[in-house]
Amino acid sequence: MQPTMKPAVLKALEEWKEAWDLARSRAVNTLSIALPGLQPTKTPTYCCPTTLVIDQPNVLGEGKVCIDEDGLATIELSALPNAVIAEAIDSLFGVGWFDGAEGPLDEADPGTYYYDSEQPRAEYVVQLGEDDIGSVGVDCLPIGFAAELLDALSSARERQEEEAVATG
């Protein structure tokens, strides 16, 4: 026999669900603004109830951002210039935060660099590729931190493109 919930509990649960859906919608909006070209995918949703993909591959990199049931983001981006990754990561964390990087990432050798953050509890993996193209992956990142990372990547890319145009 299944217990029946009290009307007040059902109403509170419905209000919570509405607020959660609104928060998820706002998260999608925030992440899409932080990394222009990131858009909700229609199907499949892969591993999470909400998945955003880059709709302009090779212009902004390639990849996806998933938002799980707990409101945490998983970021999987590839085909990003090493210089963009290095500038974004060093601007967010400072120099030398990632395992194996003794100085700025733009001076680091190609390879994989890790950082396990205690607050938030997220695992960052940065790959600087041999061909100057790398990737960024992060698991279990709160939406605010995800927006900061995506914005740093987008801003670094924009700044470097402006600099390239200015120097001809």
Structural domain spans, the chain: 7-167
3-class secondary-structure state, position 119: coil
Question: What is the dihedral angle through the alpha carbons of 6, 7, 13, 18, rounded to the nearest 10 degrees?
Answer: 170
pLDDT reported for residue 61 = 85
Write out pLDDT tens, residues 20-65.
999 999 999 999 999 998 998 876 666 788 899 987 766 678 999 9
Q: How far apart are CA 24 and CA 88, in angstroms?
A: 25
How confident is the model over 155-162, as a mean pLDDT? 94
The one-character DSSP state at 49 is S
Record: fold of 7-167: Yope Regulator; Chain: A, (3.30.1460)
Q: 154, 85 in Cβ contact below 8 A?
A: no
Write out pLDDT tens, residues 28-37.
999 999 999 8
Write out pLDDT tens, residues 110-128.
999 999 887 778 899 999 9
Q: What is the pTM of this model?
A: 0.90
Length of the chain: 168
